[in-house]
Structure formats: structure tokens, C-alpha cells
Amino acid sequence: MNRTWNQYVVKQENKTLVLSTIIDQTPISRASVAQVTGLNKGTVSSLVSELIDEELVEESGPGESNGGRRPVMLLFNGKAGYSLAIDLGVDYLLGAIIDLNGNIIYEEKRQLQSTDFDVVFPFLTRFINHLMEQVPKSRYGIIGIGVGVPAVISHQGEILLAPNLNWKKIKLKEQLEQQFNIPIYIENEANAGAYGEMRYGFEQMPKHMVYASIGIGIGVGMILDGQLYNGLNGFAGEAGHMTVVKDGRTCRCGNLGCWERYASEQALIDEAVDRQLIEHNQVEPFQKLIELANQQNQAVINLFEEIGTYIGIGLTNTINIFNPEHVVIGNQLIDAEQWISPAIGAYINKHAIGFHQNDLKISFAKLQAYSTVRGMAAFTIEGFLLKQRNA
């Protein structure tokens, strides 16, 4: 059955429009909302009064007069509820409590000793319980739990494959829903990072953005026409497994010459070991390499440049395919920005189709290590506001 349009839908849509105008342009007066949205002043008044009843909007003091009666300024109430977001990494959990404005109000990081799911899951639920105790009292309480995982995830929130965690077919969403009576969101870490960067990383939300999460592996989150693109089954973005070297290195995925075999943190480390720049059993090899580069070790600097060039190759491909406005590089490799950035820029500049470079901006994640948690929070917040609207 298709969606029909009637007066209820009209009201919902307009209410959403008013609320998002207030969120984006807070503080703002009723009159300005009416002008910006094109809605009638009376309509705005009535919708705002409902939003105030729902405690999603607050009146602050009077604003500056524009030559007449002083306006009553409206604020979005970011403290009406809180999101609980987790970045589940290969060897850590980063948890955060995030308000409706997307600001982190509490964070905590824990190391994981094992990737065994039977170890990780109880650890995770205990961590969530601990975080819940830190959440301030509020009208709507904890509006959702979001977990970002470096994995292929179905629309149903099932982890189909997480190669670096060695997980397969794990119904994480279902299992968490059984433990907590709160909406659960599970997403791919790169998708979450892309979403976080889009929502909170820019003055003006970009419409077309490619976010390359370069860590142990490479995942790509795509914002197309302002929306996260998921593909048919939710598996889109496995650009780490596009072939950039025909008959190249074999990859876990079964393909040859995959991008992530040349441009990821793992590729960097493998190559460094191969070239005897670090020991095979080096602890924190990535940090060590950055240290060496900082000490002007030329061989290491050259290696970073090579990795940068390979990153450039893959990014050039995505640029030619998508014609994005922004390309954002995130995850672990942002710590090597100064060593890889020039090579990336040079390669793209020389090889991407000229037109695509016109309005293109390339940057490193502005939210740094928080792209994923803030993205997961954005998903839960959006879900909450949507449910609120339809209530």
C-alpha cells in the first residue's frame, strides 16, 4: 500500500519542518520561522506551542528588536533526551553519551582483550549498563543505543561478516534488544562516520560526500543527495575491495589487487615489516612508524608517501564515479595526515577528471576519532524525532 497524503501527513511534515528550522537556526523567533519556511504565522505559532508542550523547544528571553516588538527567541532543547553511542573497534570500545544537539557530554574508552564474541558481548552489555548510569535525567531519557561496527551489516541489523573481528552471522541488534528495552541501531562504522561528518562536521551540510574510513581495512560511506546510500541489502560501500591492481595481491575477500591491500593501515604495517623498517612483533606498529617519520626516517617517510599515492588512486576512482563535493578521510590514518596528505592531493590533482575537481574539497575527518559515535548518535536522534513526529 502506497502512502497517501492527507491533513495529518501535512501537519506532521510541517511540524518537522518547523522543528528542523529551529534546530538549524537556533535561536530563532516564530516570525523568522514563518518567513524562512513560508508557512503562515498562525500555523507556526500553533505548531511551536505543541513542540513546547513536548519539551523539544524552549522559549528563551526576548531577542533584539528589528524596529518593532521584540521577538521571543526559540531554542531547540538538546537536553530533552540522550543517545548512547558505541564505536566497537577491533580492540577497543568507545562509548559516549550524546545530547540531541549531537554534543558529547560524557565519554569513556575501554580496551578489548579478545575479539571472541562470547567475551565481547557481555563486556559490551556491562559497559552499556555502566554508561546508562551516567545519563542525566530528562523528559525522554535514553532515546536509543547505536553501535558502529567494522562489518557488513544487513538492513535487519545482523552482522553478516566482520573479517577483522572474525565474526559471522551475529544478530547483534536482536541480542541487544533482548537486553535493553530501547531502540537499537547497528551500522557499519564507515557509514556511521560518514553520517557523523555530514551532520556535525560542516557549517553547511554537504549533499554529496564520500567518507573513506581508512583503518585496518578500508570502508567507504557515501552521502548521495544528502542521504546515506545503503544499496539493495545494506552492503554498499565495500569500495575497499575494488581492484586497483589487476592480478595484484590476493585479498581475504577472494578478489585480487583490492584497494585495501595497498592503502590501509594493515598494508602499511605489512610493507614496513617486509622492508624491515619495524620488527614483525612490534607493539603498536602504526604509532611506531609515525614516531620514525617524525624522526625524519626517510625510508618510512617514503613508505607513507607510497601509501598516500595508493589512497589517492582509490579516491580518484570514487571521485570519477560520484562527482562528490567533499571527500573526507577518517579513522586511524588521520594521525598520519602530514605524511600522506601531500601524496594524496598530488595524485588526485593529477589524475581525477578535471571537471570533477572544480568544486571538490578534500579533507581529513573534522570530528577526528568521534566520527563514528557522533554518526551513530545522529541515527538514533533522527529515529527518535521521526517516532516523536508520528506519535
Instruction: Give contact residues for DNA (rule: CB under 7 A).
Output: 4-8, 10-11, 14, 29-32, 38-43, 45-49, 62, 65-72
Smallest distance, DNA to C-beta of residue 109, A: 44
The DSSP-derived string for 329-366 is EESGGGGGHHHHHHHHHHHHHHHS-HHHHTT-EEEE-T
For the record, the C-alpha cell of 284 comes out as 603498536
When binding is defined by CB under 8 A, the residue of 135, 253, 273, 290 that contacts a copy of itself is 253
59 or 177: whose CB is closer to DNA?
59
71 or 345: whose CB is closer to DNA?
71
* Residue 71, phi then psi, degrees to nearest 5: -75, 155
193 is an interface residue for a copy of itself by CB under 8 A? no
The one-character DSSP state at 236 is -
106 or 229: whose CB is closer to a copy of itself?
229
Q: Which of 147, 177, 141, 181 is nearest to 165 (CA)?
A: 147
The partner in contact with residue 141, picked from a copy of itself, DNA, none with C-beta cut-offs of 5 to 8 angstroms by kind, is: none
The partner in contact with residue 233, picked from a copy of itself, DNA, none with C-beta cut-offs of 5 to 8 angstroms by kind, is: a copy of itself
Beta-sheet pairing, 104-111 with 209-214: unpaired
Smallest distance, DNA to C-beta of residue 387, A: 17
Distance of alpha carbon 238 from the chain centroid: 16
317 is an interface residue for a copy of itself by CB under 8 A? yes
The partner in contact with residue 66, picked from DNA, a copy of itself, none with C-beta cut-offs of 5 to 8 angstroms by kind, is: DNA
323 is an interface residue for a copy of itself by CB under 8 A? yes
**Residues 352-381, interacting with a copy of itself (CB under 8 A):** 352-356, 358-359
The partner in contact with residue 256, picked from DNA, a copy of itself, none with C-beta cut-offs of 5 to 8 angstroms by kind, is: a copy of itself
CA dihedral 359, 365, 366, 368 (to 10 degrees): 180
Asked if 96 and 373 touch (Cβ cutoff 8 Å), the reply is yes
Rounded to whole angstroms, how far apart are CA atoms 25 and 31?
Answer: 13
Smallest distance, a copy of itself to C-beta of residue 132, A: 33
Residue 280 makes CB contacts below 8 A (sequence gap 6+) with: 273
22 or 97: whose CB is closer to a copy of itself?
22
16 or 101: whose CB is closer to a copy of itself?
16
40 or 114: whose CB is closer to DNA?
40
Site track 6-45 with a copy of itself (rule: CB under 8 A), x = hit: xx-xx--xx--x---x--------------xxxx------
Q: 298 by DSSP, 3-state: which?
A: helix
The one-character DSSP state at 282 is -
Q: What angle do CA 217, 220, 222 make, to 5 degrees?
A: 170
Smallest distance, a copy of itself to C-beta of residue 21, A: 8
Of 70-78, 129-137, 174-182, 242-250: span binding a copy of itself (CB under 8 A):
242-250
Beta-sheet pairing, 209-214 with 326-330: parallel
Residue 348 makes CB contacts below 8 A (sequence gap 6+) with: 312, 315, 316, 319, 357, 362
Q: 166 by DSSP, 3-state: which?
A: coil
Smallest distance, a copy of itself to C-beta of residue 327, A: 11
Give contact residues for a copy of itself (rule: CB under 8 A): 1-7, 9-10, 13-14, 17, 21, 36-39, 152, 160-161, 207-208, 220, 224-225, 227, 229-239, 241-246, 248, 253-256, 313, 316-318, 320-325, 350-356, 358-359
